[in-house]
Amino acid sequence: MSEHIELKAGISPLEEYGMSTERGFLCRYDASTVDLPKSWSDAASVALRLPQVLPSGSVRAFLQAHLPDPAELPDAATLTDEQTHMATVHYTFMVQSYIWGEAAHSNRLPACLAIPMVALADRLGQQPLLTYSSYVLDNWALIDPAKPLALDNIAMVQSFLGGKDEAWFVLVHVAIEACAGQVLSHFEGIIEAVSQEDVARVQQHLEHTASIWAPINALFDRMPEHCDPYIYFERVRPYIHGWKDNPALPNGVIYEGVERYGSAAQAFRGQTGSQSSIIPSMDALFGVGHAADPLRKFLDQLHEYRPQGHRRFVDDVRASSRLRPFAQKVESQGLNDAYNANIQAMADFRTRHLEYAASYINKQGKKTSGNDTEVGTGGTPFMRYLKKHRDETKGNLL
């Protein structure tokens, strides 16, 4: 099959991947309007009490006493997609709270959490613990539905301890994801224009995407406004760790009552912003590659933690895009400048990520159970590789 015919197929419209121009990878419904059926809604009510219960130091007894028996829950297969995502948000927060919510961590999940958590994860094709999708993508609502999605008009639905710092950390990510939708909406046109060797149209698309990265990076710059590094490290980060490559849980977690797991402990990676699909999508479109190292291996593993539609989008973009060889081949300073502007924007984003990793984690200097300053919440020694990946991005400038 010729390259031209292969490229002609391109990628599908965003809607077919569960995405949109207005919201990017965010859920396309308003989370606050999703009604859960009885028993599932009872469990959600229990989850929403976490900010009151976690400070007591007895969250495990509370959850075991108040959660519905798994036998009382309607089959997860009977839930709508929206209900499945919302139930997953609530259960993932309870799962994390049970493992990390007391002075001594637990390496066992009781059946009242484990069985429904695995059933929901199976329905979504994801992993049975907190992921970026249940922490960020599906965990927000509009304050005023009549107004646009913006940082001053969104609220966090489910939280651990609550408070401005925890909410701001999540909501900045929500706002970034929404803004990125405008970038993603150009991907189909870019891939099509490259296949037609339309230099002017490719350049026009790239100039648009580069211009959108300015507000994205401006949103990322706002993280310190209401999320203090100390509070993040002590009151936000402890709850979002996973149990793979985590010294505090060297054997993982036993999911009691889950037949296919038996008594074998399971090891899953924790929630991390690296599960966002924005940068992987950009890397795929622009042909940015990274030399083999532990972080690259880790990032490759995170692909399975993304929602299925988002995984397919990244894969389709990677398989369809010939943007970089096209830009290298044609003699167009305008196209090269537009391409480089996007590469530089990605490098700037990665630079800010590196700076935040240093100030919010590495410089905090305290290691508590599962909250190691040298290891990310996903379970990798991140600091030594973030700079390398930023530099490799800049190395793609034409």
* Range in 107-111, 216-220, 365-369 with the lowest mean pLDDT: 365-369
Q: Is 204 exposed, middle or buried (0-12, 13-18, 19+ CB in 10 A)?
A: middle
- Cross-strand partners of 20: 24
CA 95 to mean position of chain CA atoms: 17
**What is the residue-averaged pLDDT of the chain?**
91
- Indicate if the pLDDT at residue 387 is higher than 80: no
Return d(Cα 108, Cα 165) in angstroms, integer.
29
User: 203 and 327 in contact (C-beta within 8 Å)?
Assistant: no
pLDDT digits (tens, 9 = 90+) for 202-227: 999 999 999 999 999 999 999 999 99
Q: What percent of the chain is predicted at pLDDT more than 70?
A: 90
> According to the model, what pLDDT value does residue 86 have?
98
- Indicate if the pLDDT at residue 4 is higher than 50: no
266: helix, strand or coil: strand
105 pLDDT tier (thresholds 50, 70, 90): very high
Token digits of residue 267: 């090891």
DSSP 281-327: HHHHHHT----S-HHHHHHHHHGGGS-HHHHHHHHHHHHH--HHHHH
User: 149 and 142 in contact (C-beta within 8 Å)?
Assistant: yes
Return d(Cα 53, Cα 102) in angstroms, integer.
11
- Indicate if the pLDDT at residue 183 is higher than 90: yes
Q: Which amino acid is at 203?
A: Q
Token digits of residue 110: 């009781």
Greatest alpha-carbon span in the chain = 69
Token digits of residue 174: 């929500």
* Residue ranges in 54-198 assigned as alpha helix (H): 59-66, 81-100, 111-124, 132, 164-184, 187-195
User: 176 and 136 in contact (C-beta within 8 Å)?
Assistant: no
Token digits of residue 155: 């609220």
How many residues comprise the chain? 398
pLDDT digits (tens, 9 = 90+) for 242-257: 999 888 999 999 999 9
- φ, ψ at 368 (rounded to 5°): -115, 175
Return d(Cα 279, Cα 338) in angstroms, integer.
18
Cβ within 8 Å of residue 244, ≥6 positions away: 252, 267, 268, 269, 270, 379
What percent of the chain is helix, strand and coil (3-state, nearest 5)?
60, 5, 35
7 pLDDT tier (thresholds 50, 70, 90): very low
User: What number is the average pLDDT over the span 195-200?
Assistant: 97
155: helix, strand or coil: strand
Closest by CA to 181, choosing from 99, 281, 105, is 281
**Kind of pairing, strands 108-109 and 254-255?**
parallel
Considering the entire predicted model, what is its pTM?
0.93
CB 339: neighbour CB atoms within 10 A? 26
